Chains A and B, each alone.
Chain A
């Protein structure tokens, strides 16, 4: 509302954040779990005096550096870049609440990066003891940085007492922070195993490959066994509406939630019967299959976590379109165009109704909807008459629990209605007077499949 709106065609801002975030999550959790995998495996190699295993750890550390330091670090910065472009108001809010948290995370990030380089370049320069300590320092930095970012992410879904007594501590130690941290740590352990399987599958020495494959498979299994336990605790801390959305109220979200479980089960099954039971026959293709399944699990789970937060971006405080709950009654009275900064007119221009209507769309809806792409409005209102659109706008949050209510003056609502209606050529025969109620049922369910 405060800012000009960037509308990436087809994808929309939300999906761009999603794509970058899912890839980042897949790598950043590996950055943490891999940080545990490297020193533990290195220690095992020293203890068992296993030179071949040590060579494997060395080569794995190169892969680790190339994936984690480059893709992990840059994509993390990329999420920050994108949320600033798509949701500047929410980003600014998070930075105001958590700036010292982020500053602390930055210290951990700095230590983590330095340790990773010294670990990687230090194989021949440091004595084994010191090299191991550097590995542990890396892991400490990486996990602590997960701890901080997890607190901020959890805050967005469960801000808890922060709403009535705002402070850094109420925000950080929010209800879902701890269970979510355990889930993410377990995911990190499992992903460390998945990446370990990928590098282990390319080993030439059969005895070594068998040993490392089985070892990495254990990591996957241990990690994935902890996830459902901590996950149940996590789910119990969520707001009731968020739980309902994932358990039937919004079919698409429920399907994705089910897919998340399905993919996890596949990861466990394939890992158990594949590399764990038959490590000798494991190969790179199989490793990629497990990696793709793990990426799919990460993807759908993160998507569900984002989706259940609807209609908010900070639960109970700020709606997904970055309107603050406390501002709603003011905006309802003054109008959205008057409250917005980057619009063509600050009230509906009778000569340019469609321009005003589009401005209302941009300010109030474009953070989740595009015209023609992801969550397309042209598609959503296809076949709807003007009264039908108006009815939907009037009861938006009641018809679709995951959407914020429409706020604005009557003139603004009508301008938006006219603009939405203009997206599709109007059907010639339809009695506008009584079509509203009849059309609601199918429309609501079709809308619900696209949160």
Chain B
């Protein structure tokens, strides 16, 4: 049976497909950084909060690191908007269909996000009052963000399998589906989750540097502790990533194992950068962070190539008519640069040494 896919909107795309894809992948990389810090950070904080019942240094770590979380949530959300916008522009007819099929689950993301956000604030602002109960707040928050991650993985996996849409529609009321539960979705989630732990750990190691002046011992220990998460997460990823690769359909896996030069090269460089990060992070956080950012970026590109491969039999956005709205695009590009400069200016004043001294 032919797959049932809604028709794309009869309005031309406002920019060529390559440009939209470029923006989609680029902004997705931007989103991945705070998103990983949020999921990984919440788990690490939950662990430290639990161990903090008996160990003062864990308690102190949780207390200090918690204050970094509210901005992390804010930017995970803000930076997530753009890639989802471009995704809806290019693949709307697939994305809306999969979203409608799992509507309740998908809508729940909004409510859960709000709960998680307030959870993070509660944990950060009221630690003294919460005491040991703080563990439950942050542990629940961690579970919520993991569930949100699951829902994203499920919806975006369903989106690239339009051949199941109609059958799914016939098997029950639209909206009640929780999402595909095949092995691939599970390995994909495991892959994302480990990445989040690794990057959350690396984020902690970086954050700990700012504690040097006030709590030098804690800073040294927290850096090592964060790096342990990073190393464990990245090390396990070599297994889970391999598992993920082998759970892909044969022809896609083949593309990354020599079948397609670009895909294979991207994967090799991404893995090599992860190895480099693993070795270098202990010596230099900067080198480790840059290397792992390289891995994350290449993985986002690889993910996009996998999506294209999945959808090849059904839909190619390059077949859509294009009528560039260039004036508005240029305004967007100029404003984007101006926006980044403005935020940079504010951060410069916020973090400059004079400002830091006046804190106490």
Decide: A4 near B97, CB < 8 A? Known: A81-B107, A84-B88, A110-B339: yes
Residue interface bits A94-132, CB-to-B below 8 A is 1, else 0:
011101111110111111011101100110111000100
Q: Restricting to B318-344, which residues have a CB under 8 Å from any CB of A? A: 325, 327-329, 331-332, 335-336, 338-339, 342-343
Query: Is residue A269 contacting chain B, with contact meaning CB distance below 8 A?
Result: no
Contact between A95 and B4, CB atoms less than 8 A apart: no
Which B residues lie within 8 Å of A113 (CB)?
74-75, 78
> For A102, A106, A115, A168, which residue has the most chain B Cβ atoms within 10 angstroms?
A106
Contact between B77 and A2, CB atoms less than 8 A apart: no
Q: Restricting to A29-77, which residues have a CB under 8 Å from any CB of B? A: 66, 69-71, 73-75, 77
Contact between B78 and A134, CB atoms less than 8 A apart: no
Query: Is residue A8 contacting chain B, with contact meaning CB distance below 8 A?
Result: yes
A101–B342 alpha-carbon span in the complex (Å) = 20
Query: Is residue B274 contacting chain A, with contact meaning CB distance below 8 A?
Result: no
Query: Is residue A92 contacting chain B, with contact meaning CB distance below 8 A?
Result: yes
Which B residues lie within 8 Å of A169 (CB)?
327-328
- Interface of B: prevailing SS: helix
Contact between A3 and B11, CB atoms less than 8 A apart: no
Residue on A nearest B342 in the bound complex, by CB: A111
Contact between B350 and A118, CB atoms less than 8 A apart: yes
Minimal beta-carbon separation of A341 from chain B (angstroms): 5
Which B residues lie within 8 Å of A121 (CB)?
350
A152–B145 alpha-carbon span in the complex (Å) = 31
Q: Restricting to B77-101, which residues have a CB under 8 Å from any CB of A? A: 77-79, 81-82, 85-86, 88-89, 92-93, 95-97, 99-101
Contact between B107 and A85, CB atoms less than 8 A apart: yes
Query: Is residue A418 contacting chain B, with contact meaning CB distance below 8 A?
Result: no
Query: Is residue B244 contacting chain A, with contact meaning CB distance below 8 A?
Result: no
> For B100, B101, B109, which residue has the most chain A Cβ atoms within 10 angstroms?
B100
Query: Is residue B346 contacting chain A, with contact meaning CB distance below 8 A?
Result: yes
Minimal beta-carbon separation of B159 from chain A (angstroms): 12
Minimal beta-carbon separation of B108 from chain A (angstroms): 10
Contact between A85 and B100, CB atoms less than 8 A apart: yes
Which A residues lie within 8 Å of B328 (CB)?
100-101, 104, 168-169
Which A residues lie within 8 Å of B284 (CB)?
none
Contact between A168 and B14, CB atoms less than 8 A apart: yes
Contact between A167 and B325, CB atoms less than 8 A apart: yes
Contact between B77 and A99, CB atoms less than 8 A apart: no
Which A residues lie within 8 Å of B165 (CB)?
4, 342
A273–B9 alpha-carbon span in the complex (Å) = 54
Contact for A93 among B11, B173, B346, CB less than 8 A? B11
> For A73, A134, A137, A342, which residue has the most chain B Cβ atoms within 10 angstroms?
A342
Contact between A91 and B88, CB atoms less than 8 A apart: yes
Decide: A106 near B82, CB < 8 A? Known: A5-B174, A91-B88, A137-B346: yes
Q: Restricting to B8-33, which residues have a CB under 8 Å from any CB of A? A: 8-15, 23
Contact between A126 and B349, CB atoms less than 8 A apart: yes
Contact between A137 and B350, CB atoms less than 8 A apart: no
Contact for A3 among B6, B10, B110, CB less than 8 A? B6
Decide: A104 near B332, CB < 8 A? Known: A4-B101, A7-B174, A99-B85: yes
A95–B24 alpha-carbon span in the complex (Å) = 14
Contact between A99 and B100, CB atoms less than 8 A apart: no
Minimal beta-carbon separation of B126 from chain A (angstroms): 12
Which A residues lie within 8 Å of B118 (CB)?
70
Residue on B nearest A327 in the bound complex, by CB: B10
A280–B9 alpha-carbon span in the complex (Å) = 59
Residue on B nearest A110 in the bound complex, by CB: B78
Contact for A100 among B8, B169, B329, CB less than 8 A? B329
Contact between A78 and B110, CB atoms less than 8 A apart: yes
Contact between B359 and A103, CB atoms less than 8 A apart: no
Minimal beta-carbon separation of B319 from chain A (angstroms): 15
Q: Restricting to B90-125, which residues have a CB under 8 Å from any CB of A? A: 92-93, 95-97, 99-101, 103, 106-107, 109-110, 113-114, 117-118, 121
Which B residues lie within 8 Å of A373 (CB)?
none
A291–B357 alpha-carbon span in the complex (Å) = 41
Contact between B100 and A3, CB atoms less than 8 A apart: yes
Minimal beta-carbon separation of A346 from chain B (angstroms): 11
Residue on B nearest A4 in the bound complex, by CB: B174
Contact between B349 and A73, CB atoms less than 8 A apart: no
Minimal beta-carbon separation of A366 from chain B (angstroms): 10
Query: Is residue A82 contacting chain B, with contact meaning CB distance below 8 A?
Result: yes
Residue on A nearest B30 in the bound complex, by CB: A110
Query: Is residue A412 contacting chain B, with contact meaning CB distance below 8 A?
Result: no
Decide: A126 near B174, CB < 8 A? Known: A77-B110, A91-B96, A101-B328: no
Residue on A nearest B84 in the bound complex, by CB: A80
A267–B74 alpha-carbon span in the complex (Å) = 33
Minimal beta-carbon separation of B52 from chain A (angstroms): 24
Decide: A70 near B117, CB < 8 A? Known: A108-B339, A125-B359: yes
Query: Is residue A89 contacting chain B, with contact meaning CB distance below 8 A?
Result: yes
Contact between A84 and B77, CB atoms less than 8 A apart: no
Contact between B92 and A126, CB atoms less than 8 A apart: no
A66–B120 alpha-carbon span in the complex (Å) = 11
Query: Is residue B7 contacting chain A, with contact meaning CB distance below 8 A?
Result: yes
Contact between B93 and A8, CB atoms less than 8 A apart: no
Which B residues lie within 8 Å of A166 (CB)?
11
Minimal beta-carbon separation of B341 from chain A (angstroms): 10
Interface residues of chain B, those whose CB is within 8 Å of chain A, are 4-15, 23, 70-71, 74-75, 77-79, 81-82, 85-86, 88-89, 92-93, 95-97, 99-101, 103, 106-107, 109-110, 113-114, 117-118, 121, 165-166, 169-170, 173-175, 325, 327-329, 331-332, 335-336, 338-339, 342-343, 346-347, 349-350, 355-356, 358-359
Q: Which 7 A-B pairs have the closest CB atoms?
A: A88-B96, A2-B6, A100-B328, A78-B110, A96-B11, A125-B355, A6-B103
A3-B100, A85-B103 known; 15 new pairs, CB 8 Å cut-off, are: A2-B93, A4-B165, A4-B174, A6-B174, A84-B88, A85-B96, A85-B175, A88-B96, A92-B8, A92-B92, A104-B331, A114-B347, A122-B355, A130-B349, A342-B4
For this complex, 9 residue pairs linking A to B, each with C-beta atoms less than 8 Å apart, are A4-B174, A99-B14, A100-B14, A103-B336, A113-B75, A117-B70, A121-B350, A125-B358, A137-B346
